[in-house]
Amino acid sequence: MTNDFTFKLIFFGVLILLYFIVYFLSKFIINIELKKKKTNRISNARTYKTITRRGEKYDYEFPLNPNIDGFWNRLFAKLFDYGVYLSFFYIIDRLLTEINSQPYLIAFFALFIINPIFESLTGRTFGKYVFGMRVIDDFGENPTFLTSFIKNLLQLFSIVFLILSSSTIYEDEIFFHNKRTFTYTIWNKDIGKILTELNN
């Protein structure tokens, strides 16, 4: 009983340490990535909305934030990705009967290793394609592999902490990986509108 508790304590401590290492390194790495480009940035852009109050119209300025707010949309896309990878690795595991390859675990980590490749090349994963979403960086382009990898790694920590906290983490905190890496998960159909607002 004591050994089990000690193991869990050490595991949680190592997890916290790794999280802070990735968290602080991410700021340094992302700043280097952002300096490679000199074009307009979404984080500096503004959008304007006209609101009518008591018959009078008022123009308000807001920061441009194209992120999809819905938690469940993103979750379903991630689960779809997991299903694709699980199916693939499960078939491989069945073909290699003499090797127990733990397809469930491999598929989980594939989400955070393979997805950055797809996001850097196309801006989309299997799930994002099916659900009509994509990922863009602060310049409205596909994120680099390094940026996407850090985003997915931070997201992995978010999911682990969400599970350990019994789902008490707020949705805004779940999406902090986007804020930290200056990436945006958007509806694919909105990319033209976002680029237009970015260049105005």
- Rounded to whole angstroms, the Cα distance separating 148 from 136 reads 10
- Rounded to whole angstroms, the Cα distance separating 110 from 130 reads 18
**How far apart, in Å, do the first and last CA atoms of the chain sit?**
63
- Rounded to whole angstroms, the Cα distance separating 174 from 162 reads 8
In a domain, 51, yes or no: yes
Task: Give residue-wise pLDDT tens across range 58-107.
Answer: 777 777 788 887 777 888 898 999 999 999 988 888 887 666 678 888 88
- Rounded to whole angstroms, the Cα distance separating 121 from 126 reads 13
What does the pLDDT average to over 194-198? 83
Q: What is the DSSP letter of 29?
A: H
pLDDT confidence tier of residue 167, bands split at 50, 70 and 90: low
Domain range for residue 122? 21-199
The residue type at 141: E
Tokens found for residue 101:
């390859």
Task: Give residue-wise pLDDT tens across range 31-58.
Answer: 777 676 667 888 888 777 777 777 777 7
In a domain, 74, yes or no: yes
In a domain, 142, yes or no: yes
pTM above 0.85, yes or no: no
Cβ atoms within 10 Å, residue 62: 9
Q: Quick one: pLDDT at residue 162?
A: 66
In a domain, 180, yes or no: yes
In a domain, 36, yes or no: yes
Residue 142: which residues within 8 A CB-CB, separation 6 or more?
119, 120, 121, 122, 123, 135, 136
In a domain, 95, yes or no: yes
Structurally, how many domains does the chain consist of? 1
